[in-house]
Amino acid sequence: MNVDLLLDWYGINKRELPWREDKDPYKVWISEIILQQTRVKQGLDYFYRLIEAFPSVEDLAHAKEQEVLKLWQGLGYYSRARNLRLGAESIVKSEKFPEDFKGWLQIKGVGRYTAAAICSICYNHKTPAIDGNALRVYTRVFALEIDIHKSSSSVFLFEKISEMLQNKKLDMGDLNQAIMDLGSSICVPKNPSCTSCPLKSECLAYQTGKTHLYPFSSKKIKTTNREIHYVFYQFQDLFYLKQRKQKDIWQGLFDFPEMAQKPVEDLELIHSQNHLLTHQRLQLSFWHKKIDSRAEFELIGEKNNYTVAQKNDLDKFPVPKPLADFLKKFVP
């Protein structure tokens, strides 16, 4: 693969992003965690708000989980936020950022791709960053019939690209970021812009007219339907929330108490909506239970260990996006 062609293209077309300015490992790490499951356009605002709230790794390490989750609200895959704070604690405890691939792999929430990206961008280590974009680009360029959903495929490509670049002098961070940018702008999953690609002259998939066959994947995402019936308890301007502590969707966030099935008692259905997650199609129903007695309200909370929230304080709690939308519309 002619990396010079790719790097020349990157020099002209690279995206101006805040974490690319000074190659600060803290900012690069934050950005890579955000971008694990998020597009750059959506992730930018979250990057800015996290850096503003926690300018240093020490600030992040000393933050409460609820603070981090609140800033992460709406981004999804909330384990990333929890792991980010735990990772900051580890870094502060060791008194320095890891400076090699193995060291970064010891940080909570950092896998092979993230470790490789950080090491190449910040320290120019020859660690190929193999994510979905890279898998797509490399399998098309080399016409590799490997299953991209097998971890062995990423390891295979890591070793193949490492060997290919072993004796080359180059900025590995720029190369990895060039692959990222190419995969997100030109070598996209459907209808790639092959005629604009700097690697078209040596891309085997393009030369043989088979770009649609790469990358190969044997895995199909299975989605299940799930009903959630929320009970919206209210006494004057007081409401009940509960924290989702089990290993399930939205772990660590707050939402309303749930009922196992559609309520049979006299409750008012005030809203229903569908919400799509990666593996689940949620059917959400919001049932209103207005309570006139403080004693009855407090008894319900004590019996179920619910969290009391005043109307003016609701925006302080990290909540799932559909709940945030509900509160904005029905509890303005």
Q: Say whether 227 is catalytic.
A: no
Task: State the pLDDT at residue 264.
Answer: 66
The pLDDT tens digits for 292-301 are 999 999 999 9
pLDDT for residue 195 is more than 70 = yes
Task: State the pLDDT at residue 29.
Answer: 97
Residues 117, 107: contact at Cβ < 8 Å?
A: no
Give the model's confidence band at 37: pLDDT under 50 very low, under 70 low, under 90 confident, else very high.
confident
The pLDDT tens digits for 92-118 are 999 999 999 999 999 999 999 999 999
Give the model's confidence band at 21: pLDDT under 50 very low, under 70 low, under 90 confident, else very high.
confident
- % of the chain exceeding 90 in pLDDT: 80
Q: DSSP for 98-120?
A: --SHHHHHTSTT--HHHHHHHHH
Among candidate residues 21, 32, 145, 227, the one labeled active-site is: 32
Rounded to two decimals, what is the model's pTM?
Answer: 0.81
Among 184, 20, 159, 178, CA closest to 101? 159
The pLDDT tens digits for 70-89 are 999 999 889 999 999 999 99
Among 165, 28, 155, 48, CA closest to 98? 28
Residues 81, 64: contact at Cβ < 8 Å?
A: no
Q: Which domains does the chain have, with CATH numbers?
A: 3-213 (1.10.340.30), 224-330 (3.90.79.10)
The pLDDT tens digits for 219-256 are 777 889 999 999 999 999 999 999 998 888 999 999 99
Average pLDDT, the chain: 92
Q: Which two tokens stand for residue 316?
A: 């302080």
The CA-based dihedral angle spanning residues 193, 196, 133, 120, taken in that order and rounded to the nearest 10 degrees: -170
The set of residues, in sequence order, having a beta carbon less than 8 Å from that of 75 and lying 6+ positions away, is 34, 38, 42, 43, 46, 81
The pLDDT tens digits for 153-164 are 999 999 999 999
